[in-house]
Amino acid sequence: MSVTAPAGFEATGVAAGLKSTGKPDVAVVVNRGPLKTGAAVFTSNRAKANPILWSQQAIADGAVEAIVLNSGGANCFTGSFGFQTTHQTAEKAAELLGVSAGDVLVCSTGLIGTGDEAFRAKVLAGTETAIAQLSADGGPAAAEAIMTTDTVPKTATFAGDGWTIGGMAKGAGMLAPALATMLVVLTTDAVLTPEQADAHLRAATRVTFDRLDSDGAMSTNDQVTLLASGASGVEPEPEAFRAALTDVCRDLATQLMADAEGASHEISIHVRGAATEDDAVEVGRALARNSLFKTAIFGNDPNWGRVLAAIGTTSAEFDPYNVDVWMNGVRVCTQGGPDRPREEVDLTPRATTIEIDLFSGEETATIMTNDLTHAYVHENSAYSS
Amino acid sequence: MSVTAPAGFEATGVAAGLKSTGKPDVAVVVNRGPLKTGAAVFTSNRAKANPILWSQQAIADGAVEAIVLNSGGANCFTGSFGFQTTHQTAEKAAELLGVSAGDVLVCSTGLIGTGDEAFRAKVLAGTETAIAQLSADGGPAAAEAIMTTDTVPKTATFAGDGWTIGGMAKGAGMLAPALATMLVVLTTDAVLTPEQADAHLRAATRVTFDRLDSDGAMSTNDQVTLLASGASGVEPEPEAFRAALTDVCRDLATQLMADAEGASHEISIHVRGAATEDDAVEVGRALARNSLFKTAIFGNDPNWGRVLAAIGTTSAEFDPYNVDVWMNGVRVCTQGGPDRPREEVDLTPRATTIEIDLFSGEETATIMTNDLTHAYVHENSAYSS
């Protein structure tokens, strides 16, 4: 049921002609209340698309009644014309829904530089069509309409104690620090204030979407939004709600990683024994971004030397000559030297686990990434995206 | 003539059985003086191979009589046994040459973790064989013996005013900041003190090898060494010598970029209008490491949005919405928006030029990189290196 699993939400997805394939490309999610609580986190790239610039302003008061999302064009680096397109999209939705434009968020994804008059006309018409078709079971249609190179729609739900969380996500590449080419909408019928929603969302994304680093590239359009309708009338126990929201985010992040462009391995990098959590993240991320490591995994080659060479570039606190490395459960390196023979490591399964012990403290972090494959090169060289 | 172009040097390369192909894999370069001036710069990776640890100590006094280099094994993460191998290699060369082991540098390249008893025996025997074959025209043989995945040996010479510079380099991948998988030996018969040699070498490598970033991965074994014999009896004019040394380094760096594993484009990223040189380097390097940009160039796709998205991740001083970008001379983006149609850009030549104007100052930098190709993935996944 995606974003319409919780009470108080309607959604839909329609084909507005933005995608040359004719597939659905405009989605609308509406919060019917009684609360209109919203919170959002955005790409940390300084190059931000127009919908990001708009949504950052609109979310400031913590009130959101609707969100309009389009695939088939990023509306990024399209100048003031592009910003006006976003503004007009919010106004169009607001007018049709009888709400304030300042309570409508906008998200776009697709090719940077796409946002001309034809784009504007299609987005506005698609918004109107979509709003006329809103329904309480339109979540799956919305999840489909935000897909770009995704091969499957991504949705998740969580049934709490009298409240529910639903979510949808798109993203299949450019998954990098601080969210990347990722549009996510999370909904709940729990009773939350804007401050609670913001705190829960930041806590959940920090250890899930922010730990996903498919190819080190950071998008201009990433946005993760949480909407709370309060329709259940239940004020959730804070720890339980945060844990559930984190579960939903982790579920969606895992789906994003599994559908990353051209990947043949999903790699979980577990770093432990770090002096600080930041150190653990830095070490995991340095490995996740190392092309030589990523190609070795594609080749099913347990080349642990590339692991040590990659993490040796960090400023994290550890002794490079006192590090243990496991690949799929086999300790291939201990104290910075060879341990078990590499022949013992089976890297043929898609699910790949790298464990690194830095012997410098008690902190840990897990980074999720993918291998670097021929298919990745093909998808990202043969098509503009 | 490679490293034996200047007077006072002898060199050779021999096959010691380290390479399974039977090709030459041990090189020796000897400085016959009268000076024994030496200077070297090393990888900034904290994970350093044993020969780096040795050479860093040996170079401290600025005196070098010989350098032994091997391909076919990095002797990295091989523990104290590996360090003893390096030490014994220096002692073996010193004994045969009648010099101090502390004046013999050692360089290794190949697979990390390779450095067992068989490796040691072959390196020691190869060193003995090589020293017996030293000759004043052995430079080309030495350049061939240090090759790994290089498809051609790389050499350069410069004829100054009464003095000469020669050089050889190996490297074909992992070419990243602060030198990477790169072994370079530069020789000169100019009269230089160790302090002069060190200053000239640092100045020359800073704007050449340090600006080469093929795939963002940084090696454990990189070393660039300058040896000065003083055999010409000429004290060069400092600016002229530094300019010549920079030219030789740029020549070798360009050869390394042209032979990078699997590349189909050599990309020069010129950043101008930067507030500081560091900003220019940061912007150029962020682009050089962006997989989406690199695959687009492989696909001959002038996807300037990926340029802006890549540089938007930096902390350099500039307005992301006031940046101009040229691709092979065509301004595709101005003030952060579309300019000339992408159809005007021809990316089919190997030599590719990206120009970025940040409009924030007068500083500039050029970073050299490669595209990300199917062949890169193949070479780095199918073989351990």
Q: Residue A181 has what pLDDT?
A: 67
Residue of A nearest to B295 (CA): A381
Question: Phi/psi at A92 (nearest 5 deg)?
Answer: -60, -50
Instruction: Please tell me what DSSP assigns to residue B152.
Output: S
Which stretch of A3-7, A335-339, B171-175, B224-228 has the lowest confidence by average pLDDT?
B171-175
Q: Residue B381 has what pLDDT?
A: 77
Q: Residue A328 has what pLDDT?
A: 97
More confident residue, B295 or B134: B134
> In chain A, what are the domains?
2-258 (3.60.70.12), 266-382 (3.10.20.340)
How do residues B232-290 score in pLDDT, each as one tens digit? 999 999 999 999 999 999 999 989 888 877 889 999 999 999 999 999 999 999 999 88
Give the mean model confidence (pLDDT) for residues B91-102.
Answer: 98
Instruction: Map chain A to HEC letters.
Output: CHHHCCCCEEEEEECCCCCCCCCCCEEEEEECCCCCEEEEEECCCCCCCHHHHHHHHHHHHCECCEEEEECCECCCCCHHHHHHHHHHHHHHHHHHHCCCHHHEEEEEECCCCCCCHHHHHHHHHHHHHHHHCCECCCHHHHHHHCCCCCCCCEEEEEECCCCEEEEEEECCCCCCCCCCCCEEEEEECCCCCHHHHHHHHHHHHHCCHHHECCCCCCCCCCEEEEEECCCCCCCCCHHHHHHHHHHHHHHHHHHHHHCCCCCCCEEEEEEEEECCHHHHHHHHHHHHCCHHHHHHHHCCCCCHHHHHHHHCCCCCCCCCCCCEEEECCEEEEECCEECCCHHHCCCCCCEEEEEEECCCCCEEEEEEEECCCHHHHHHHHHCCC
Looking at the predicted structure, is the pLDDT value of residue A303 above 80?
yes
- pLDDT bracket for residue A173 (50, 70, 90): low
Using a CB–CB cutoff of 8 Å, tell me whether A295 touches chain B: yes
Q: Residue B384 has what pLDDT?
A: 58
Cβ separation B376–A291 shorter than 8 A: yes
How do residues A235-259 score in pLDDT, each as one tens digit? 999 999 999 999 999 999 989 888 8
How close, in Å, is residue A143 to chain B by CA atoms?
25
Question: Which 8-47 residues of chain A touch chain B by CB within 8 A?
Answer: 44-47
How do residues A202-233 score in pLDDT, each as one tens digit? 999 999 998 887 777 678 888 999 999 999 99
CA B274 to the chain's CA centroid = 26
Give the mean model confidence (pLDDT) for residues B341-353.
Answer: 93
How do residues B23-47 score in pLDDT, each as one tens digit? 999 999 999 999 999 999 998 888 8
Q: Residue B179 has what pLDDT?
A: 36
Catalytic residue from among B85, B89, B181, B373: B181
Which stretch of B54-68, B237-251, B298-312, B320-334 has the lowest confidence by average pLDDT?
B298-312
Question: Which 216-275 residues of chain A touch chain B by CB within 8 A?
Answer: 216-220
How do residues A122-172 score in pLDDT, each as one tens digit? 999 999 999 999 999 999 999 999 998 888 999 999 999 999 999 999 986
Q: Residue A385 has what pLDDT?
A: 54
Cβ separation A113–B305 shorter than 8 A: yes
How do residues A26-37 score in pLDDT, each as one tens digit? 999 999 999 999
Reported ipTM: the value is 0.77
Q: List, as own/partner pairs, every contact residues A115-118 make where C-beta atoms lie below 8 angstroms and the sequence separation is at least 24, other chains included.
A: A115/A50, A115/A73, A115/A74, A115/A75, A115/A76, A115/A78, A115/A81, A115/A82, A115/A85, A116/A78, A116/A81
Give the mean model confidence (pLDDT) for residues A68-89.
Answer: 93
Cβ separation A299–B380 shorter than 8 A: yes
Gyration radius of chain A's alpha carbons: 21
Share of chain A above pLDDT 70, in %: 96
Using a CB–CB cutoff of 8 Å, tell me whether B375 touches chain A: no
Instruction: Map A65-129 to HEC letters.
Output: CEEEEECCECCCCCHHHHHHHHHHHHHHHHHHHCCCHHHEEEEEECCCCCCCHHHHHHHHHHHHH
Q: Residue B261 has what pLDDT?
A: 72
Cβ separation A305–B77 shorter than 8 A: yes
Tell me which residues of A are annotated as active site. Answer: 181
Q: Residue A178 has what pLDDT?
A: 36
The whole-angstrom separation of Cα A246 and Cα A110 is: 27
Whether B181 sits among the annotated catalytic residues: the reply is yes
Cβ separation A305–B174 shorter than 8 A: no
Looking at the predicted structure, is the pLDDT value of residue B136 above 90?
yes
